[in-house]
Amino acid sequence: MNSNILQTPIDYLKGVGPSRATLLRAELGIHTYQDLINLFPNRYIDKTHYYKINELQRTTAEVQIVGKITHIKMVDQKRGKRLVAKFMDDTGDMELVWFRGHKWIKENLKLNTPYVIFGKTKYYNGYSMPHPEMELLTEHEKNLKISMQPVYPSTEKLSNKGISNRVISKMMQQLFAETQLKFYDTLSEEILSELKLISKREAVFHVHFPKNQEILAKAQYRLKFEELFYIQLQLIIKKLIRKQKIKGYPFTEVGTYFNTFYNDHLPFTLTNAQKRVIKEIRKDIGSSAQMNRLLQGDVGSGKTIVGFMAMLLAIDNGFQACLMAPTAILASQHYQGITELTKGLDIQVKLLMGSSKVKERRIIHEELENGTLHILIGTHALLEDKVKFKNLGLAIIDEQHRFGVAQRAKLWHKNKYPPHILVMTATPIPRTLAMSLYGDLDISVIDELPPGRKSIKTVHRYDSNRLKVFKFMAEEIAKGRQVYIVYPLIQESEAMDYKDLMDGYESIARSFPAPRYQISIVHGQMKPADKEYEMARFVKGETQIMVATTVIEVGVNVPNASVMIIESAERFGLSQLHQLRGRVGRGAEQSFCILMTGFKLSSDSKTRLETMVRTNDGFDIAEVDLKLRGPGDIMGTQQSGVLNLKIADMVRDNDILKTARYYAMKILKEDPSLALEKNHVLLYTYQQVAKHKNIWNYIS
């Protein structure tokens, strides 16, 4: 369609006017006709079809059924009662449930009389419908309304100002009348025919005014495919351009440092996964394109040594390397680990943090600029303007989702050419999401643990089993092992958390009395120096039990700790539970993770705990987490706006995403610049999309 009319400000649509336009802009971000067309319904009220009970699907769609109530009973539950009716048609039966208004409903329900019921179904050992809309069949037939009514996203403010769902539907009808549905198609003939997709014009019309479920499904598929296809196209083109345009320094030498370390100083045999990843990195940095690689591996899978070997390749080629970590504890740990690995190699390593003294800083700045310093490790302090390298060839970023885009970009500008970038994360990003969030990055995965590591045994125990848990702790300590006990930290109620922690600490101190047992305690209200003192005592083995809030989540390495007890485990998210569990299992001994909870658990909490008990695989856990939380949350708040999709859903539409990525790759392989006649429409749409929507310019 002539895209100019779609750019008309929403104020000009008949029935909108200035005050409604202001509200639509503020509440729903609708500025133009185009924005209104892209306001897709959240759901539909389907009153076109009468379902039979045996036709119901396990979706949360709203359905309409004709049948009779044969029986009513009251059922006791934890809080109050619920009213349950048995509802039957000629194919089966289901339950209708009411949690309030029992007396009135009971008095007014007619048994064995045909009703039409309407509502959302739930499935748990059979179908049920909470609080259905009900109408006697005789009444219903008098005022038959047949249509699928779209329900649009809204806000409280819009409803209060009279912009109801009906008003938005009216605006849609007006918009379609004015624009006459003259949309140009945005996909090539080839894609449309291969995937049997309906035209853009039909899809947009039927998504707003569907006649039935079947045409709606076709419209949604078509629009979801298009949205995901252009995102993938953008990411893949960006990756191709980066590989051609952004030159990196080619590291052609595999020299003395790398070989000496590999042959004489390697502390253990590399796993096949580690070898594979090192090969991938060598291939990247050996070409003249800049490397941009994401390295994923579970806690303890040995990412650091892979990063270190990449640094050695940089040094062999006459370049410097840096490693940036999000916290001082983690940066210090990397520093200790890497200093240990460089023994006997004549390599200069320094640590730079916010707390570094002026004198130390001055030395670091000088050595960086004259090139005598090979490796610099640190926190955000590395990004300061004063920090100048002689020739930075490789930047490694640990736990990158904690750094903003602008911060990462600063590392780029420390040089004539941008350094090669290796991003490491122990937060497994589900494959689904990695494909879209990091579609412009190459991804490496270390998916096996070093030999001799036993997988951690995880169990769920209720508070009532605490004495047995204490007995188990005492047995492990008697074998010379150490134990973590972690309490949740929820910022809003710091006083309450502190009380929980102190109550817990006292009961542990009673069960594990001094001098036989020594206990460390670490929490957010302590001074950093005190925290470090307590941590150091535990690391040295002077204390057997560490009671802490989640400050120990990232990067603390105590191989002798074999038991992790997580209190109120239902208050933690899955990825947090998985990260905490990774603090044990670092030595050769069998390790255990015990999840403690009360009896009252929500269904999400149950799913989280069951998942932890069932698997140690971080990717598996991340997939479940994604389903529970949705993509926005997983990336942390600063990046949740990233997946600002209009109609597709990263989790539910995973299959469409894979198809879209497949077609984007296939087309660009054959025609990288979309110059062929048959791809003109793709090129034109791609340019429009790129102009109006700067998606996800993530790493670069």
Q: Provide φ and ψ at 302, rounded to 5°.
A: 90, 45
How far apart are the C-alpha atoms of 426 and 211, rounded to whole Å? 48
Cβ neighbours, 10 Å, residue 167: 18
Mean pLDDT, range 486-507, rounded to an integer: 74
Residue 63 covered by a domain: yes
- Lowest average pLDDT, out of 239-253, 276-290, 383-397, 623-637, goes to 623-637
Quote the pLDDT of residue 302: 85
Residue 343 covered by a domain: yes
Q: Of 427, 446, 465, which residue constitutes the final position of a domain?
A: 446
Residue for token pair 């003259």: 182
Quote the pLDDT of residue 396: 93
Quote the pLDDT of residue 698: 30
Within this chain, do residues 238 and 262 fall inside the same structural domain, yes or no? no
How far apart are the C-alpha atoms of 270 and 255, rounded to whole Å? 19
Q: Taking 90 as the threshold, does the pLDDT of residue 282 lie above it?
A: yes
Residue for token pair 């707003």: 208
Quote the pLDDT of residue 644: 62
CATH number at residue 106: 2.40.50.140
Within this chain, do residues 224 and 262 fall inside the same structural domain, yes or no? no
Mean pLDDT, range 557-565, rounded to an integer: 88
Q: List, for residues 20-53, the tens digit of each pLDDT value.
A: 999 999 998 899 888 899 899 988 887 778 899 9
Whether this model's pTM surpasses 0.75: no
Quote the pLDDT of residue 556: 63
Residue 43 covered by a domain: no
Q: What would the two tokens of residue 3 be?
A: 């895209």
Within this chain, do residues 468 and 415 fall inside the same structural domain, yes or no? no
Residue 10 covered by a domain: no
- Lowest average pLDDT, out of 125-139, 370-384, 593-607, 636-650, goes to 636-650
Distances (CA, A) of 214 to 46, 290, 499, 548, 646: 12, 48, 57, 55, 21
Residue 162 covered by a domain: no
Q: List, for residues 441-462, the tens digit of each pLDDT value.
A: 788 888 777 776 788 999 999 9
Distances (CA, A) of 407 to 131, 379, 396, 403, 698: 51, 11, 13, 6, 11
Half-sphere exposure of 692 (CA within 13 A, CB side): 13
Within this chain, do residues 611 and 514 fall inside the same structural domain, yes or no? yes
358 contacts: CB under 8 Å, gap ≥ 6: none
Q: Of 446, 472, 495, which residue constitutes the final position of a domain?
A: 446
Quote the pLDDT of residue 639: 36
Within this chain, do residues 500 and 563 fall inside the same structural domain, yes or no? yes
Q: Of 118, 145, 172, which residue constitutes the final position of a domain?
A: 145
Q: Taking 80 as the threshold, does the pLDDT of residue 524 lie above it?
A: no
Quote the pLDDT of residue 642: 41
Q: List, for residues 587-618, the tens digit of each pLDDT value.
A: 778 999 999 999 988 888 999 999 999 998 88
Residue of higher predicted confidence among 689 and 446: 446
Within this chain, do residues 276 and 422 fall inside the same structural domain, yes or no? yes
Quote the pLDDT of residue 409: 64
Q: Are 431 and 363 in contact (CB under 8 A)?
A: no
Q: Which amino acid is at 208?
A: H
Percent of the chain with pLDDT over 70: 88
Mean pLDDT, range 416-434, rounded to an integer: 78
Residue of higher predicted confidence among 641 and 19: 19
Cβ neighbours, 10 Å, residue 525: 12
Domain of 485 in residue numbering reads as 457-615
Residue of higher predicted confidence among 230 and 550: 230
Within this chain, do residues 334 and 422 fall inside the same structural domain, yes or no? yes
Quote the pLDDT of residue 699: 28
How far apart are the C-alpha atoms of 135 and 222, rounded to whole Å? 36
Q: What would the two tokens of residue 230 be?
A: 């252009």
Quote the pLDDT of residue 675: 94
How far apart are the C-alpha atoms of 8 and 119, rounded to whole Å? 38
Residue 58 covered by a domain: yes
Within this chain, do residues 594 and 699 fall inside the same structural domain, yes or no? no
Quote the pLDDT of residue 636: 40
**Domain total for the chain?**
4
Cβ neighbours, 10 Å, residue 137: 13
- Lowest average pLDDT, out of 243-252, 339-348, 446-455, 488-497, goes to 488-497
Q: 146 — alpha (psi -120 to 50), left (phi > 0) or beta?
A: beta
Q: List, for residues 641-656, the tens digit of each pLDDT value.
A: 345 678 887 667 878 9
How far apart are the C-alpha atoms of 37 and 488, rounded to whole Å? 45
Residue of higher predicted confidence among 546 and 100: 546
Buried b (16+ CB within 10 A) or exposed e, 102-133: eeebeeebeeeeebbbbbebeeeeebbbeebe
- Whether a cis peptide bond, with omega within 30° of 0, leads into 515 is yes
What one-character DSSP code corresponds to residue 564?
E
CATH number at residue 404: 3.40.50.300
Mean pLDDT, range 267-288, rounded to an integer: 91
Average pLDDT, the chain: 85
Kind and range of the H or E element at 685? helix 680-692
Residue 357 covered by a domain: yes
Quote the pLDDT of residue 460: 96
Residue for token pair 């990717």: 619
How far apart are the C-alpha atoms of 181 and 36, rounded to whole Å? 14
How far apart are the C-alpha atoms of 337 and 355, rounded to whole Å? 20
Quote the pLDDT of residue 436: 65
Q: List, for residues 175-225, the tens digit of each pLDDT value.
A: 988 887 677 889 999 999 999 999 999 999 999 988 888 888 899 999 999
Burial of 224 per CB tally in 10 Å (0-12, 13-18, 19+): buried
Quote the pLDDT of residue 607: 92
Within this chain, do residues 478 and 611 fall inside the same structural domain, yes or no? yes
Residue of higher predicted confidence among 657 and 499: 657
How far apart are the C-alpha atoms of 22 and 11, rounded to whole Å? 8
Within this chain, do residues 440 and 465 fall inside the same structural domain, yes or no? no
Within this chain, do residues 480 and 578 fall inside the same structural domain, yes or no? yes
What one-character DSSP code corresponds to residue 51?
B
Q: List, for residues 543-555, the tens digit of each pLDDT value.
A: 999 998 865 544 5
Mean pLDDT, range 278-287, rounded to an integer: 92
Within this chain, do residues 439 and 518 fall inside the same structural domain, yes or no? no
Residue 525 covered by a domain: yes
Q: 80 falls in which pLDDT band (50, 70, 90)?
A: confident
How far apart are the C-alpha atoms of 586 and 450, rounded to whole Å? 10
Burial of 690 per CB tally in 10 Å (0-12, 13-18, 19+): middle
